[in-house]
Amino acid sequence: MVNVNYEIKMGKLSGKVAVITASTDGIGFAIAKKMASEGAKIVVSSRKEANVESAVDNLKKQGYKDIIGTVCHVAKQADRENLLKKAAEAFGRIDILVSNAAVNPVFGLTEDVSGEAFDKIFDINVKAPFMLTKEVLPYLRKNDGGSIVYVSSVAGIQPFSFLGCYSVSKTALLSLTKVFASELATSNIRVNCVAPGLIKTNFSKPLYESEAAYEIALSQIPLNRLGQPDDVSGIVAFLCSKEADYITGETIVVGGGIPSRL
């Protein structure tokens, strides 16, 4: 029988330290698990301590030893700085940042979105990834490079009905990817993005929980199924690995063939 820990040690991310926001459930948790399976040391985070403890316990029970977690509300500077500090203190370095946290507090016509809701969407979905990138740079540069991945959405390429402001915020990440990829290339820091389609998570439940919504969703997906978090996690792990060393500034759509670009 092959030893699980041996498999983990020999993975494509062996020796790397990955910090992943909103990683106690859904896509974020799948990314954490996949990266751990590829040998990375993982720092999970979430706004709720109970969720962090549960995710860490879950991963450790599956045989992944180098796992820690901490509470992090990405809109709070002190939380972001503490997240990075704890990662560096625990593992001695940071090599990878995956910015996954996102919110969508409203569903309806864009003209009806309040200024308060707009600010919340952009604080979490755009400003927080921007600030986290700035804050993680000293750690990455200390190691002569690293990798950053933003989790956007296919809605950022083809806006979803009744999710106007959310879609616009995800479009901003596509541009942020290209801007930082260009500016950070000389520091050997690669910046890429994934744009999931309709992935079956608690976050996206309003888009598929009713039978009518589910049928409408399937009608737009050529592969005729909803995506699973594991459909996204492997792409993120790849983008952070040596195999993707010549890829930066790119957005990879993981949408089952859903129309997203020319």
The predicted-structure confidence for 19-71, as pLDDT tens digits, reads as follows 999 999 999 999 999 999 999 999 999 999 999 999 999 999 999 999 999 99
**Cα distances (Å, whole numbers) of residue 244 to 186, 189, 247:** 17, 12, 5
- Give CA–CA dist 125/103, Å, rounded: 7
Phi, psi of 190 (to 5 degrees): -95, 140
CB atoms within 10 A of CB 255: 24
Active-site annotation, residues: 166
Question: How confident is the model at residue 7, as a pLDDT?
Answer: 43
What's the first-to-final CA gap in the chain, in angstroms? 47
Question: How confident is the model at residue 262, as a pLDDT?
Answer: 67
Question: How confident is the model at residue 2, as a pLDDT?
Answer: 46
Which residue ranges in the chain fall short of pLDDT 50? 1-2, 5-8
Nearest to 254 by CA among 231, 238, 237: 231
pTM of the model: 0.94
